[in-house]
Amino acid sequence: MNVIEVKNFKKYFGETKAVDDISFTVEKGEIFGYLGPNGAGKTTTIRCMMDFVRASEGTISILGKDSFVDSVSLKERVGYLSGNVRLYENWTGHEHIDFVRKLNGKKDIAVNLTSMLDFNPKIKTKKLSTGNRQKLGVIMAFMLEPEVLILDEPTTALDPLLQNVVYDLLREATSNGTTVFMSSHNLAEVERVCSRVGIIKAGKMVAIESVKSLKEKRMYSVSVYFHEPVDMSVFVAEGVSVVKEMPLGLVMKVAGDINAVLKKLAAYNVKDISISQASLEEIFLEFYE
């Protein structure tokens, strides 16, 4: 079942195409990562999903409801975390939490979250560090155990231990049926918690992949040294590029089957060779070349 459906979505600001005709779906109980560098269109997409900004064209459906037409009712079922948490500076954390509590009236888990994130809710938010402001944002997004979580860079400014707490919260939420859409530029984070990713570049969706399939994309770095000079150009072929040439050696990037390269190397007197598989980050960067 698709909980989020985005179809032919566009958002233009004058002649600037912030998001240009993207489509994707997110299934129930899934953690979907939305990847891209700053300015790619991630936050614009999220703001339109939340109906803070109106789409220029296309449709966005959440829980079977139109994000524009049913904006008010959807906000009762969606937990949201902004990429830049805005707070009432003279309110304490308690007052923010109580405000969210009174808006909805549901039973909540704010006390547990406050303890897990080691957050002091008695302090006025104008005195909070960036990390503690982020903690409060996380608490308000998760506290009502919503059906959908829409999170813009959820672990920004959190130290590694607290990032792990957020990852645990995400896993627990999805195990209870919550669907998560989260933007990130942290590839290690996405690899750790997401099942699928959408990769956006300059407003265009360039790939939608499972994290598993991204990891399985065959990319290798091959460093090889020879006993005598070799014409390095003989190794250049489809899917193979020479990254660096050295005296009696070279570094190649290989996409796809590595056996063709190994067969070529077998014809030469190889002194030393090392082969390493590309990281998720290197695979991701391939989409941006």
Same domain, yes or no: 42 and 114: yes
- Sheet containing 16-27: give its strands across: 16-27, 2-13, 57-62, 65-66
Same domain, yes or no: 204 and 231: no
**Which H or E element spans position 187?**
helix 187-193
Are 22 and 204 a contacting pair, CB within 8 Å?
yes
pLDDT at residue 190, as a whole number = 87
Number of domains present in the structure of the chain = 2
Looking up residue 239, the CATH number of its domain turns out to be 3.30.70.1150
Helix axis angle for 130-142 and 160-175, nearest 10°, is 10
Same domain, yes or no: 200 and 232: no
- 277 pLDDT tier (thresholds 50, 70, 90): confident
In this model, does residue 59 exceed pLDDT 80? yes
Over pLDDT 90: what percentage of the chain?
78
Residue range 233-244, pLDDT digits in tens: 899 988 898 999
From 20, 45, 21, select the one nearest 33 (Cα to Cα): 45
Say what the alpha-carbon torsion angle 252, 257, 262, 265 is, to the nearest 10 degrees: -50
Residue range 130-178, pLDDT digits in tens: 999 999 999 999 999 999 999 999 999 999 999 999 999 999 999 999 9
Which domain-ending residue is among 215, 235, 250? 215
pLDDT at residue 288, as a whole number = 61
Looking up residue 106, the CATH number of its domain turns out to be 3.40.50.300
Same domain, yes or no: 230 and 203: no
For residue 92, the 8-state DSSP code is B
In this model, does residue 86 exceed pLDDT 70? yes
In this model, does residue 187 exceed pLDDT 90? no
Same domain, yes or no: 77 and 161: yes
Q: Which structural domain range is residue 163 located in?
A: 2-215
Q: What number of other Cβ atoms are within 10 A of residue 13's Cβ?
A: 10
50-66 average pLDDT score: 97
Same domain, yes or no: 40 and 159: yes
Q: Determine the residue type at 147.
A: E
Same domain, yes or no: 211 and 222: no
Question: Taking the model in full, what pTM does it have?
Answer: 0.83
- 46 pLDDT tier (thresholds 50, 70, 90): very high
212 or 135, which is more confident?
Answer: 135
Same domain, yes or no: 47 and 144: yes
Lowest average pLDDT, out of 67-81, 130-144, 248-262, goes to: 248-262
Residue range 12-33, pLDDT digits in tens: 999 999 999 999 999 999 999 9
In this model, does residue 257 exceed pLDDT 90? no
In this model, does residue 37 exceed pLDDT 90? no
Which domain-ending residue is among 188, 215, 242? 215
283 or 86, which is more confident?
Answer: 86
104-131 average pLDDT score: 95
Same domain, yes or no: 120 and 245: no
Same domain, yes or no: 152 and 254: no
Which domain-ending residue is among 215, 247, 266? 215
Same domain, yes or no: 155 and 42: yes
- Sheet containing 78-81: give its strands across: 78-81, 148-152, 179-184, 31-35, 196-201, 204-210
- 289 pLDDT tier (thresholds 50, 70, 90): low
DSSP per residue over 114-158, as a string? Answer: HHHTT--TTSBGGG--HHHHHHHHHHHHHTT--SEEEEESTTTT-
Same domain, yes or no: 91 and 204: yes
CA distance 155 to 167: 9
In this model, does residue 217 exceed pLDDT 80? no
For residue 201, the 8-state DSSP code is E
